[in-house]
């Protein structure tokens, strides 16, 4: 009788572990599916900086697409099947600057895509409308907290009542300058 109870408990524990494993796997699949929905676009002409931000955001579970200038982002957006979750851009770049990229976004269907400006060009920061500004160099945890706040499902631009509302609502959370 003791052997049977021990064997039954072992089977029960194995069944519990299998169930827990399936739940964890499903949770992981859901997280990956959510992250895969909409990419974060990183636009910076400095390859080292671009790759550092890419690695940081990918390690946090985001799907990331990188570009060396605004012109390449426009090509990507023209063929994209969905809005990006967020655009992180430098300001001073060759070909098409971050300033020009943001002007384009303001005039198009991409107006509600949140923008984080990550730039050493702080002298003009207060004139940036509808964007968060972080001066370079930025602390990784500060950038991550802002990206997380702006890309969380409850703050998705698809659910925003008014253009820029999620940016204003989370400016304090990000600890960033918000002009707009």
CATH number, domain of 165, equals: 3.40.50.2300
Q: Which domain holds residue 9?
A: 1-36
Is the separation of the CB atoms in 58 and 64 below 8 Å? yes
pTM above 0.75, yes or no: no
The answer to whether residues 46 and 26 belong to one domain is no
The answer to whether residues 82 and 164 belong to one domain is yes
The answer to whether residues 51 and 16 belong to one domain is no
Residue with tokens 């907290």: 145
Q: Which of 19-33, 128-142, 161-175 has the lowest mean pLDDT?
A: 161-175
Is the separation of the CB atoms in 101 and 73 below 8 Å? yes
The answer to whether residues 123 and 85 belong to one domain is yes
Q: How far apart are the first and last CA of the chain?
A: 75
The answer to whether residues 44 and 25 belong to one domain is no
The answer to whether residues 21 and 53 belong to one domain is no
The answer to whether residues 82 and 123 belong to one domain is yes
The answer to whether residues 31 and 47 belong to one domain is no
Binning pLDDT at 50, 70 and 90, where does residue 15 land?
Answer: low
DSSP 39-71: PEEEE-S-HHHHHHHHHHHHHTT--EEEESSHH
Q: Could you give phi then psi for residue 72, rounded to 5 degrees?
A: -70, -30
Q: Where does residue 21 fall: left (phi above 0), alpha (psi -120 to 50 degrees), or beta otherwise?
A: alpha
The answer to whether residues 71 and 136 belong to one domain is yes
Number of domains in the chain: 2
Span 69-112, pLDDT tens digits:
999 999 999 888 888 999 999 988 999 988 899 888 888 888 88
Span 23-73, pLDDT tens digits:
654 544 454 455 446 999 999 999 999 999 999 999 999 999 999 999 999
The answer to whether residues 68 and 24 belong to one domain is no
């Amino acid at each position: 009788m003791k052997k049977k109870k021990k064997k039954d408990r072992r089977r029960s524990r194995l069944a519990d572990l299998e169930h827990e494993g399936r739940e964890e796997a499903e949770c992981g699949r859901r997280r990956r599916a959510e992250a895969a929905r909409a990419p974060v676009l990183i636009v910076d002409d400095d390859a080292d900086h671009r790759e550092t931000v890419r690695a940081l955001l990918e390690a946090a579970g985001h799907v990331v697409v990188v570009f060396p200038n605004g012109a390449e982002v426009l090509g990507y957006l023209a063929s994209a099947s969905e809005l990006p979750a967020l655009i992180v851009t430098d300001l001073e770049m060759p070909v098409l600057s971050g300033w020009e990229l943001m002007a384009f976004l303001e005039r198009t269907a991409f107006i509600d895509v949140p923008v984080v400006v990550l730039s050493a060009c702080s002298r003009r920061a207060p004139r940036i409308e509808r964007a968060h500004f972080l001066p370079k160099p930025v602390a990784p945890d500060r950038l991550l907290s802002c990206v997380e706040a702006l890309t969380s499902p409850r703050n998705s631009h698809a659910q925003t009542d008014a253009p820029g509302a999620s940016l204003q609502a989370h400016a304090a959370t990000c600890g960033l300058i918000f002009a707009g």
